[in-house]
């Protein structure tokens, strides 16, 4: 969520099976629909939207995992550089 297409391409270039929500669900999908899809497809949600953490934590379910990016800038090059540092290849 709120991750640019170039960042998705960047993740794919490192072999990550990354998809944007709008590639698999309707543009108006609710947070709950996204969480359900991610759980069913065994995905991790990468987002800048901090609203995802609470429903997932409160659900008591083991999946999906969520990575919340709290960055001072949404510039693609900075987001990509940060992800490159923390995600395994």
Give CA–CA dist 60/11, Å, rounded: 29
Place of tokens 């659900």: 59
How many helices (H) and strands (E) the chain has is answered by 5, 2
Q: What is the pLDDT of residues 8-20, one digit of tens each?
A: 999 999 999 999 9
Q: What is the pLDDT of residues 47-68, one digit of tens each?
A: 988 887 888 888 888 888 888 8
Whole-prediction pTM: 0.84
pLDDT score of 39 more than 80: yes
Helix (H) or strand (E) holding 35: helix 31-40
* Spans of all domains in the chain: 5-86
């Amino acid at each position: 969520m709120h991750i640019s297409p170039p960042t998705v391409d960047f993740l794919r270039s490192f072999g990550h099976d990354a998809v944007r929500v709008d590639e698999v669900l309707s543009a108006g999908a609710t947070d709950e629909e996204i969480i359900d899809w991610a759980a069913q497809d065994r995905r991790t949600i990468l987002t800048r939207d901090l609203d995802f953490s609470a429903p997932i934590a409160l659900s008591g379910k083991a999946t999906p995992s969520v990575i919340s990016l709290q960055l001072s800038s949404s510039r693609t090059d900075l987001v990509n550089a940060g992800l490159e540092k923390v995600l395994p290849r």
